[in-house]
């Protein structure tokens, strides 16, 4: 296992991406889902070779990515995905929109499960559909899909669900049983399930991850998965995702998308994704997961000692912490005060839906030092 550590703050501030350009230099940016680690060596090498060769043209009509991802899914998830049923596009959001446009009619309703990644609301609208909110159930120990609520939405005419698996912002890895039950409900009503699985490579080993399409024949009939290396390997700016299907009917939908949907894939994104999903990058990914595991525990300890009013459950996957600060009395959107007075940028909880009032989302894909300083800054607000 490689040791994966974050870059020093001074070096990170030389980056020109959103995370490091949105706010002044006195703000610690822990909002957008970018990480602070060096690229995996295989990815760096692949991009370096491409630059040296001037390999910067259009993606080829046949690429190794489907086979490489299928092998990755077999190694990491035990899933036998069919590479002949995959097609690339620019990013997960684009894949979601293009699929939703084909499986819904204008004005039809698509279920989302707030609190959820804020662009989900806009992606449904972009596809011409309407948002139907069926919030996750807070069990007191974690979050679960409200399967009865989803069934009721389908009974009332909703025609699809946009699933977040693993879930952003809670870091929930939905259980195989819950996903299989969702598939059966969707199949009963002829509804589609579009599963955003961008955080799947970041599921902690003790939790594991179940791809939606691997939960049975019903899932194969109704399901579409959209996957990418971009979150685990910090490649969002390179633009590459895979749309994955598992049946003749769903594969026909994806094959029927215009060629331009595929040609929008970035050449650098594709080369980087092949390197990221290769077996040679597994050691780096394992090291990243170990670092994130230590960071999520550190965050729990810091909150307990310095912000005891905060409510936090360690996520099963990813590097995003969903933290309830409502007990501190800082209003529906505590991230505003934290940004203004503590100079720490967190994602606004209400952006994730009504269920996000009083919450913040914190990105702990960084160094222990930055996490510690951020919580110490926020803790000073308690005394004020």
Q: Give the mean model confidence (pLDDT) for residues 19-35.
A: 97
State the burial class of residue 83 (Cβ atoms within 10 Å of its Cβ: 0-12, 13-18, 19+).
Answer: middle
pLDDT band for position 170 (cuts 50, 70, 90): very high
pTM comes to: 0.97
Give the separation between CA 63 and CA 240, rounded to whole angstroms: 12
Pull the structure tokens for residue 259: 């060629």
DSSP lists the bridge partners of residue 194 as 162, 224
pLDDT in tens, 66-85: 999 999 999 999 999 999 99
**337 SS3 class:** helix
Q: How far apart are the C-alpha atoms of 302 and 238, rounded to whole Å?
A: 34
Of 238, 161, 169, 219, the residue nearest 199 (C-alpha): 169
Closest by Cα among 167, 183, 179, 161 to 103 = 161
**Inter-residue contact 127 to 187 (CB < 8 Å):** no
Q: 15: how many CB neighbours lie within 10 A of its CB? A: 13
Q: Which of 229, 232, 225 is nearest to 269 (CA)?
A: 229
As a whole number of angstroms, the distance between CA 334 and CA 105 comes to 38
Under 8 Å between Cβ of 130 and 106: no
pLDDT in the model for residue 160: 98
* β-strand pairing of 143-144 with 86-89: unpaired
342 pLDDT higher than 80: yes
pLDDT of residue 349: 98
Percentages (nearest 5) of helix, strand, coil residues in the chain: 50, 15, 35
Provide the pLDDT for residue 369: 98
Mean pLDDT of 138-158: 97
Q: How many helices (H) and strands (E) does the chain have?
A: 16, 15
Average pLDDT over residues 97-126: 98
For residue range 231-286, list pLDDT tens digits in order.
999 999 999 999 999 999 999 999 999 999 999 999 999 999 999 999 999 999 99
How far apart are the C-alpha atoms of 115 and 170, rounded to whole Å?
A: 8
**Which residue ranges form the domains of the chain, and what is each CATH number?**
9-39+282-383 (3.90.1150.10), 44-278 (3.40.640.10)
pLDDT band at 1 (very low <50, low <70, confident <90, very high): confident
Position 316 pLDDT exceeds 90: yes
Q: What is the DSSP letter of 133?
A: E
| pLDDT recorded at residue 274 | 98
Predicted confidence (pLDDT) at residue 299 exceeds the cutoff of 80: yes
pLDDT tens digits along 172-197: 999 999 999 999 999 999 999 999 99
Burial of residue 200, with CB atoms counted within 10 A of its CB: 0-12 exposed, 13-18 middle, 19 or more buried = buried
Length of the chain counted residue by residue = 384
Pair of tokens at residue 216: 């049975």
pLDDT band at 383 (very low <50, low <70, confident <90, very high): confident
Q: Confidence band (pLDDT; 50, 70, 90) for 384?
A: confident
- Grade residue 199 by pLDDT with cuts at 50, 70 and 90: very high
């Amino acid at each position: 296992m490689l040791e994966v550590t974050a870059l020093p703050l001074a070096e990170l501030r030389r980056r020109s991406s959103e995370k490091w350009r949105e706010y002044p230099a006195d703000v610690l940016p822990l909002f957008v889902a970018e990480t602070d680690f060096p690229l995996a060596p295989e990815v760096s090498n692949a991009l370096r070779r491409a630059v040296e060769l001037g390999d910067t043209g259009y993606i080829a009509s046949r690429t190794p990515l489907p086979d490489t991802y299928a092998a990755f899914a077999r190694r990491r998830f035990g899933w036998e995905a069919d590479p002949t049923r995959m097609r690339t596009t620019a990013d997960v959001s684009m894949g979601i929109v293009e699929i939703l446009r084909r499986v819904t009619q204008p004005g039809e309703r698509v279920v989302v499960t707030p609190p959820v990644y804020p662009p989900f609301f806009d992606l449904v609208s972009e596809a011409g559909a309407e948002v139907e909110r069926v919030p996750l159930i807070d069990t007191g120990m974690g979050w679960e899909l409200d399967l009865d609520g989803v069934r009721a939405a389908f009974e009332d005419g909703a025609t699809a669900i946009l699933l977040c698996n693993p879930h952003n912002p809670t870091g929930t890895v939905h259980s195989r049983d819950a996903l299989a039950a969702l598939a059966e409900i969707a199949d009963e009503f002829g509804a589609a399930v579009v599963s955003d699985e961008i955080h799947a490579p970041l599921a902690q080993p003790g939790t594991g991850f179940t791809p939606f399409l691997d939960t049975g024949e019903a899932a194969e009939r109704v399901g579409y998965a959209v996957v990418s290396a971009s979150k685990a390997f910090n490649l969002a700016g390179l633009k590459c995702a895979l749309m994955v299907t598992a049946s003749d009917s769903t594969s026909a939908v994806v094959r029927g998308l215009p060629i331009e949907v595929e040609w929008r894939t970035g050449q650098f994104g594709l080369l980087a994704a092949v390197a990221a999903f290769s077996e040679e990058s597994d050691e780096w990914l394992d090291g990243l997961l170990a670092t994130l595991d230590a960071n999520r525990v550190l965050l729990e300890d810091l909150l307990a000692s310095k912000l005891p009013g905060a409510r936090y459950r360690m996520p099963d996957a990813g590097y995003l912490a969903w933290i309830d600060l409502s007990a501190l009395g800082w209003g529906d959107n505590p991230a505003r005060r934290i940004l203004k007075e503590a100079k720490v940028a967190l994602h606004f909880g209400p952006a994730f839906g009504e269920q996000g009032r009083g919450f913040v989302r914190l990105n702990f894909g960084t160094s222990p030092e930055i996490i510690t300083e951020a919580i110490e800054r926020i803790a000073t607000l308690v005394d004020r």
